[in-house]
């Protein structure tokens, strides 16, 4: 999943058709922009880690009544920030669990589901951490969750090259959208409408050339065009 058609050698890493995946496990940059990378798989791994710790599935998780969390990831992050990661643990195994191990797993899971793909560790580092080898862990920030506002920006490749990549920043979903976000949405809407009109017109021309009857909607397009040309 991390890279499409690697045998083609063209380095494609974005989906150009519809996004396909399991709800609750898809990384925000893939869900919002179709951007695929190894870090998208790391995000999915982080979700699974938090699911194993809590005993709940992210897609069907219902936060406790006293929590304002949106989903399992957000709930785990809020508990972590309060120093109460142990409360995320599945009650069925809580009596036999070591608090330090639970806190470590929650922290690893949260690092893997960071909003910015570049802030997520690679799987090689995750293995080192889980094997209890010495490694300094960063402080996780709020997870990347669907519904947040992401802005895609260009950045150089890891090797120091010019283009060929993108990263995503996250903002609050509350309040008024920024001008850049509104402009992007407006352009996308205009482009989609233009493509739809072009497709309809092309289909109409084909049907007329073959002597096929037009549907009501297609007749409307033709009448509108005749009125404009008249």
In the predicted model, is pLDDT for residue 16 greater than 50?
yes
pLDDT tens for residues 20-65?
667 788 888 888 878 788 999 999 999 999 999 999 999 899 988 8
List CB contacts of 222: < 8 A, sequence separation 6 or more: 204, 214
List CB contacts of 185: < 8 A, sequence separation 6 or more: 177
Q: What is the pLDDT of residue 5?
A: 47
What span, in angstroms and rounded, lies between the C-alpha atoms of 217 and 215? 6
DSSP, collapsed to helix, strand or coil, labels residue 15 as coil
**Which percentage of the chain shows pLDDT scores above 90?**
32
First to last CA, the chain: 53
Domains, the chain, with CATH or none: 6-148 (1.10.510.10), 189-229 (no CATH)
Q: Which residue has the tokens 């109409």?
A: 204
The full 3-state SS of 112-129, as one line of letters, equals HCECCHHHCCCHHHHHHH
Q: What's the DSSP call for residue 210? A: T
Closest CA to 217 of 201, 198, 206: 201
Model-wide pTM > 0.85: no
In the predicted model, is pLDDT for residue 213 greater than 50?
no
Q: Which residue has the tokens 């909003």?
A: 115
Q: Which residue has the tokens 């010019």?
A: 162
What span, in angstroms and rounded, lies between the C-alpha atoms of 198 and 194? 6
pLDDT tens for residues 143-189?
975 444 444 443 333 333 333 344 443 433 333 334 444 444 444 44
DSSP, collapsed to helix, strand or coil, labels residue 151 as strand
**How far is CA 92 from each of CA 56, 78, 97, rounded to the nearest angstrom?**
12, 22, 10
């Amino acid at each position: 999943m991390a890279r499409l058609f690697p045998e083609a050698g063209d380095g494609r890493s974005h989906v150009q058709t519809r996004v396909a995946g399991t709800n609750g496990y898809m990384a925000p940059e893939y869900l919002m922009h179709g951007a695929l990378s190894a870090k998208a798989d790391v995000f999915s791994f982080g979700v699974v880690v938090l699911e194993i710790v809590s005993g709940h599935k992210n897609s069907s998780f219902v936060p406790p009544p006293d929590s304002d969390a949106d989903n399992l990831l957000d709930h785990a992050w809020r508990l972590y920030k309060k120093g109460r990661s142990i409360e995320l643990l599945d009650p069925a195994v809580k009596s036999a669990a070591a608090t330090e191990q639970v806190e470590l797993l929650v922290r690893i899971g949260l690092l893997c589901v960071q909003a910015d793909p570049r802030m997520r560790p690679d799987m090689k580092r995750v293995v080192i951490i889980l094997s209890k080898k010495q490694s300094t862990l960063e402080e996780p920030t709020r997870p990347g969750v669907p519904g947040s506002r992401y802005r895609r920006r260009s950045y150089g490749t890891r090797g120091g090259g010019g283009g060929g990549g993108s990263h995503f920043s996250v903002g609050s979903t509350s309040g008024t959208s920024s001008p850049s976000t509104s402009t992007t949405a407006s352009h996308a809407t205009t482009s989609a409408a233009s493509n739809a009109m072009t497709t309809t017109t092309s289909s109409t021309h084909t049907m007329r050339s073959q002597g096929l009857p037009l549907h009501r909607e297609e007749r409307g397009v033709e009448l509108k065009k005749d009125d404009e040309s008249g």
